[in-house]
Structures are given as structure tokens and as C-alpha cells.
Amino acid sequence: MTTIPAPGAGRISAPLHVAGPGAPWHLVREAMDRHGNAVVHTTWGEWLGAAVTQPALRQLLGGDWQRYRRTQDPTLRFRFLASRLVTKYTAAAALRTGPAELDLAYRIGGRPYLRSLDQIDVSLTHTEDMIAVGISRNGRIGVDVEPATRPMSYDLLQGHVLTPGERAALEHLPEAERAARLLRLWTLKEAYTKALGQGLRLDFTEFGFAEGGGELLAPDGRPAADGEWAFDTHRVLGGRYMLSVACHDTGLAGSADTTVRTMLDTGFAGAVTELL
């Protein structure tokens, strides 16, 4: 895995490769303890064998079971299955519980969340055979991944993706370096807007990044945040993919105890107690 250093990157845990349900999930717990967030990546093929032979698959998928069963295209079906299992196993490791104990739900626009665990934020992204999941207890998190060889045309994209400062920084670079820088900016902006819950609805020319990629800037180049955001980019899976992460820190003194019993929404817990 190749890291592209960025200011503030030390606040984001390095992405972990989780090649199936038997991955070293203790590393996710350690990342959560150390940074308050964790990021994992894998391919859906690495999960396929274990997933389709899982005897408790219906219980594991929960509310996603019917969608899984209704999806006719085999590739889409198994990609959906793997991405949901990776998300649940990652969250379960972070929260020290079993994946079947978590209820994965979706907001308008499709962003996943853990029902009754409002203190935890989750982000899921996938492209081709690649899946990445981010989880945080400090604030919002967004992840985005793209093939490192994805063509990026400066001429076609500059007016839709870059601020004036970013265009000035890129326009005189050699073509190959310019394309790589443009791809990195694209994934950072995708990760940031996903963390905000906006996706492509937020105009990419309305915010930018410093040359190092770790500082959020206004269109005119002025700093746009006071350090509450951290950003990082990595080349993963042998450099085949570029993975960017955006993490927001609310600044609130959250508990380092991320067991599911502790993090469970108090209103939900009270309702359960009344029923019992």
C-alpha cells in the first residue's frame, strides 16, 4: 500500500485490507481506539465464497435480504452481498459485537447508517471489484475509491471539478502528473461530499484542496476550515486503486468505549427496557 501524505493524515487510520470474514478484525478495533475511525478495503471476490456458503446469511443481511434475493444480475447481486457484509463486519469489529446484531439502514440517497447507533457514522464506496468502508465515532466520514488508471481529461473536467487555484496549479504540469493530481482531487472531493451527505449535488468548484491535498480551501484559495476536517489518500491493492478519506471531528469529548452496549442510542435502549 502506497500512502500519499497529507496534512492531518495522522488523524485518520491507515486503510486495512480485510480479505474475508476471517480477517484480523482486531486491527479495526485498535484503529478505532487510537484514531476514533477505521477504514477497510477489499474485493467482492475475496468475500464471495464465504458469503454464499454462510449458513446464517439471511440473519446477517437482515433488512437487505429481500433486495439481495430480488437482484437478478449475478454480478450486481454478489457485489451487493459482499459490500453489505464488509460493512457489517467492519462495524461489528469497531463496536465489539456480532455482525448479525447490527441493523443496517439507509438514508435518502442511499447512504448507510446503523439504526439506533447515532454516534457512529458509516461510509461505503465501491468501483469495479473494489469495496471500501469507513467508520467513525468522532463525526462524519466519507470514503471514495477509483481505479488508479481511470482516464482524467483536464480539458473536459477543469470547469466542472477545479477551483481557479487548482486549475492554476495543474495547468502547466506534464500530462501524466496532471491526470494523477486531478484523480486525487476528484476522490478527495467525492469523499468530502459523501461525508457531508451531499454526493455530486455539491458543486466541486465551490471548494478546493491545497497542493498537499490535506487542507480544505474556499474557491479563492483561503482556508475553509479550522482544523476540524482531516483528509488522506492511499494507493491500495498493489497501487491499482486510489482511496481517499475525509473525516470530520466534532470536537466533542466522545467516549473511547465503542462497545455496542455503550454506544446504543439511549432513547432506543429506554424503549427496549419499557417493553421488557
> Is the CB of residue 202 less than 8 Å from the CB of residue 196?
yes
Q: Where are the domains of the chain?
A: 2-275
Q: Superfamily for 2-275?
A: 4'-phosphopantetheinyl transferase domain (3.90.470.20)
Reading the block at residue 119, the C-alpha cell is 454516534
List the one residue out of 152, 23, 33 whose CA is nearest residue 86.
Answer: 23
> Is the CB of residue 146 less than 8 Å from the CB of residue 109?
no
Task: Provide the pLDDT for residue 8.
Answer: 53
| 3-class secondary structure, 12 | coil
Q: Say which residues have a Cβ less than 8 Å from residue 269's Cβ, sequence separation at least 6.
A: none
The three-state DSSP-derived secondary structure of 167-189 is HHHHCCCCHHHHHHHHHHHHHHH
Instruction: Give the CA distances from residue 155 to residues 22, 94, 160, 261, in Å, rounded to whole numbers and listed in that order.
Output: 45, 43, 10, 52
- Would you give per-residue pLDDT tens digits along the chain (276 residues)? 665 545 455 799 999 999 999 999 999 999 999 999 999 999 999 998 888 888 889 999 999 999 999 999 999 999 999 999 999 999 999 999 999 999 999 998 889 999 999 999 999 999 999 999 999 999 999 999 999 999 999 999 999 999 999 999 999 999 999 999 999 999 999 999 999 987 667 789 999 998 876 789 998 888 888 889 999 999 999 999 999 999 999 876 455 555 655 444 444 334 333 433
Separation CA 99–CA 20 (nearest Å): 13
Separation CA 229–CA 239 (nearest Å): 25
Task: Provide the pLDDT for residue 3.
Answer: 53
Task: Provide the pLDDT for residue 223.
Answer: 87
* Residue with the three cell numbers 495522522: 10
List the one residue out of 245, 218, 241, 251 whose CA is nearest residue 231.
Answer: 245
Task: Provide the pLDDT for residue 44.
Answer: 93
Task: Provide the pLDDT for residue 200.
Answer: 60
Predicted TM-score (pTM) of this structure: 0.87
